[in-house]
Structures are given as C-alpha cells and as structure tokens.
Amino acid sequence: MSVSEMFAALQGALGQDQDIREEIRKVVQALEQTAREILTLLQGVHQGPGFQHIPKKCQKAREHFGTVRTQMESLKTKFPADQYYRFHEHWRFVLQRLVFLAAFVVYLESETLVTREAVAEILGIEADRERGFHLDIEDYLSGVLTLASELARLAVNSVTAGDYARPLRISTFINELDSGFRLLNLKNDSLRKRYDGLKYDVKKIEEVVYDLSIRGLNKEAAVGEK
C-alpha cells in the first residue's frame, strides 16, 4: 500500500468518526432541550404558589422523562456499543443534568435520595456497565451534588413562602447526604471540586435553620408537623 493509499484509508476512518459524532450531537441537542423544559417546569416550586402544585409539577416532569427515554433509545443507536467511553464526553453534561432533574423530582415526591438504579430506569438506560449504555457512577454523583445546591435554594425560598418545616427536613437530608459523601474516596478532580461545594450548601441551610431558631419559627414548624 502506497503512502497516499494509507492516508486515504485514514481519511475514510476520520470521516466515519466525524459522522458518528455529528449524529450524537443532534440527539444530545434534543436531550438538552428536553432537560431545559423539565428544569423550567420544576423551577416553579421555588415560587410561593408553587409549593401547592408540587405533585402536579412532578407528574408533568415524569411525562417529559418519557421523551427523554425515547431520545436515549435513539442515542444508543448512534455509536458502536463497545465505544461508550470514547464518545462519553458528548453526553456527559446533559446526562448529569438529567440525573439532577430526576433526583429533584423524586425528592419532591418523597423527600428521599433516588438510587442510581432508579435514575437509570427513569432515563431508560442501564445501571450496570456490562449491559451497555449505562449511568456512570461519577455522573450520578455529580447530579446528586447539583441536587444539594438546588435544595439549599429551596430551603431559603421555603421560608419566604412561609413554609418553616421544609428547611428543617432539607437540613436533615443534606446532612445525611454529606455524611454519605464523606465515606467516598473521591479521586476524580472535577467531582472532588464539586463535592467541596457541598459544605457551602450545608452551611447555607444551617444558616436558614439557625435564623428560624432565633425567630422561634422552628418550634412553630415542629408543632405544625405533628
């Protein structure tokens, strides 16, 4: 094979790779749009009247996740099944965003932390790496850390809306989350930096709870919970 023939073959391989990336990019753009729609829907819970419509907003978000599952099925067909990590960077960000959104919906519904397996089911992908297109552990953890920041914001807005019990429950949840992350030996630099931000979320929520305590509103919230 001549040098020109060798490089012609290389160009063909490069062209195929570029075609795959372009097809992936189109599906990822659609996923990003759906994620924005879900986020816009859920942001309504931060407003006063939004607390009264949490179940309805969660139900509507669940419907949007049906679209996500369809888009994920399309994404799976765009690249060879054994090359997940070769193209992972293309969908990593949107997948982490979708994990956060799924975790937020589950928290609003039950005030519990969604498992990785449950998130994978919501998104229509696998939890186990061996089974193909899956939810990477680090992507799951990144989404959970985004949830922590969102709940810190929700704690503040709950007080504004006159819901004094919610920040106390959020505080308990976030402290349990922080304890869980402390059990992990995080090596990933990006994930480690995001985890470092969790202490600020904990502090922010503690300040909200402290303010409620000073004003005597935590006792009022405790009575209301009974």
Binding site, residues? 150
Instruction: Report yes or no: 168 and 217 within 8 Å, Cβ to Cβ.
Output: no
Judged by DSSP in three states, 134 sits in strand
Rounded-to-5 percentages of helix, strand, coil across the chain:
85, 0, 15
Judged by DSSP in three states, 202 sits in helix
Q: Is 221 exposed, middle or buried (0-12, 13-18, 19+ CB in 10 A)?
A: buried
Q: How far is CA 90 from CA 11, 34, 103, in A?
A: 22, 16, 22
**What does the alpha-carbon distance between residue 15 and residue 45 come to, in Å, rounded to a whole number?**
46
Chain centroid to Cα 224, Å, comes to 31
**Would you list which residues are annotated within the binding site for Mg(2+)?**
150
